Amino acid sequence: MVLVAPAPPRPPATVTEEYRRGLSHAYDSPETVRHAVEHVPAATPLPEKEWGAVLHDSLAAGDAARQEWPLRGIAQDITAAVRGIDVPVTVLAGEKDLVEPSRVLRECLLPHLPHATLTTVPRVGHLQLPGAHHGPSRGSGRRRRNDKGRRHQVTERAISGGCGQTQTLRSAAG
């Protein structure tokens, strides 16, 4: 199983009803998509040639599909279900991801996944474009034990912050 820039399984306290309502309109129009992508997910400005695909993909889903995550999914605590995943999992995190930094995923997601590998993709943010995956970054390559005593690979670059800091960034982005 591969998880690309996933959210931790437990929603942070900063994911309030007001935050979720604001986030639910981030992909309503080409203007709101551009604003959302330029201010949060992309680590670097997107090349103009990429915008057509980003806009198409962002606006292609119906309203119900676009609103499922911000209005309901982001608020669900799925920790028990995540702990039940018993297959090898590769978690991909963008080196410059401000939404779900690799440190947050290591601290808040990997302890719940018994067979997980975290790989940091260099030079990308939360929005990981096709072709951006040129292999893992040259990171520490350390092995860590999760809360069940099993070892998992952690490949990461130093990224400051933790669960609380990321939630502050998420809130400010909404």
The pLDDT of residue 50 = 84
pLDDT (tens digit per residue) in 31-54: 999 888 887 766 777 788 888 888
Parse the chain into domains and list their residue ranges: 2-13+78-173, 17-75
The pLDDT of residue 134 = 43
Q: Which two tokens stand for residue 135?
A: 């292999």
Distances (CA, A) of 144 to 60, 73, 115: 40, 29, 11
Query: Is 79 in a helix, a strand, or coil?
Result: helix
Cα angle, residue 31 at apex, residues 102 and 130 outer, rounded to 5°? 40
Q: Which residues of the chain carry a pLDDT beneath 50?
A: 133-174
The pLDDT of residue 86 = 94
The pLDDT of residue 167 = 29
The pLDDT of residue 145 = 43
The pLDDT of residue 44 = 72
Q: Are 27 and 59 in contact (CB under 8 A)?
A: yes
Q: Are 155 and 136 in contact (CB under 8 A)?
A: yes
The pLDDT of residue 138 = 39
pLDDT (tens digit per residue) in 79-104: 999 999 999 999 999 998 888 899 99
